[in-house]
Amino acid sequence: MIDQICDELLDVIRKYEHGVNTAQLNVVKADLKKILKNEWVNAYVREKALYVSEGFQRWFSARKWKQYPNCKQQIISDIAWLRSACETAFALKTGMPG
pLDDT computed for residue 97 by the predictor: 66
pLDDT recorded at residue 95? 81
**pLDDT tens digits, the chain, 98 residues: what are they?**
899 999 999 999 999 999 999 999 999 999 999 999 999 999 999 999 999 999 999 999 999 888 888 999 999 999 999 999 999 999 998 887 65
pTM over 0.75: yes
User: What pLDDT is attached to residue 68?
Assistant: 87
- Per DSSP, the residues of 23-41 read HHHHHHHHHHHHHHTSTT-
Question: What CA–CA distance (Å, rounded) separates 18 from 88?
Answer: 31
Specify if 57 maps to a domain: yes
- φ, ψ dihedrals at 83, nearest 5°: -60, -45
| Residue 60 located in a structural domain | yes
In a domain, 91, yes or no: yes
Helices 22-36, 43-59: axis angle to 10 degrees equals: 180
* Residue 12 domain-assigned (yes or no): no
When divided into structural domains, the chain yields a total of 1
- Let me know if residue 14 belongs to a domain: no
- Its domain, for residue 49, covers 41-98
**Spatial distance between the Cα atoms of 93 and 44, rounded to a whole number of angstroms:** 13
